């Protein structure tokens, strides 16, 4: 096992390539409720957003969006049924809610550029490492 001082502990940030950073910013704020924060780099082609946990999402304007192959990030919610209902009311297509073997529930949607996003409940098996 790794020494505690070098062991990976949390997700700091994820990035998504988007074709139009301004449209993406509005979507991530209006649909997913992320909040824009000051970016800590001198660059005009991106925005930094943050979740209440402190984890960040960086949206980066790139003509080749979406990221290929399209990876995804999973965001936890307390009430997945209410989350799905909210998204559907906003006109967002989602998959059906799936239940995994450990009881965790999940659904998927795409942002404006086709980047895959997972919305899920807390994992049922807890921390294993």
DSSP conformation class of 112: T
Residue 85 lies in a domain: yes
Residue 113 lies in a domain: yes
More confident residue, 105 or 68: 105
Residue 103 lies in a domain: yes
Residue 56 lies in a domain: yes
Residue 129 lies in a domain: no
To the nearest 10°, report the CA torsion of 83, 84, 85, 89: 100
pLDDT of residue 126: 67
pTM of the model: 0.84
Residue 4 lies in a domain: no
Residue 125 pLDDT > 90: no
Number of independent structural domains in the chain: 1
CATH of the domain at 22: 3.10.180.10
Q: What is the pLDDT of residues 32-53, one digit of tens each?
A: 999 999 998 999 999 999 999 9
More confident residue, 124 or 11: 11
Q: What is the pLDDT of residues 89-104, one digit of tens each?
A: 999 999 999 998 888 9
Q: In 10 A of CB 21, how many CB atoms? A: 18
The parent domain of residue 36 ranges over 11-120
Residue 21 lies in a domain: yes
Per-residue confidence band for 127, with pLDDT thresholds at 50, 70 and 90: low
């Amino acid at each position: 096992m790794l020494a505690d001082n070098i062991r990976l502990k949390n997700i700091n940030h994820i990035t998504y390539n988007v074709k139009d950073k301004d449209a993406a910013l509005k979507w991530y704020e209006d649909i997913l409720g992320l909040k824009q924060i000051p970016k800590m780099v001198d660059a005009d082609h991106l925005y930094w957003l943050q979740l209440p946990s402190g984890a960040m999402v960086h949206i980066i304007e790139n003509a080749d969006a979406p990221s290929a192959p399209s990876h995804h990030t999973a965001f936890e919610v307390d009430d997945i049924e209410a989350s799905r209902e909210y998204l559907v009311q906003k006109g967002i297509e989602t998959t059906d809610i799936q239940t995994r073997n450990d009881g965790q529930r999940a659904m998927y949607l795409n942002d404006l550029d086709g980047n895959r996003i997972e919305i899920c409940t807390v994992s049922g098996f807890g921390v294993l490492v």
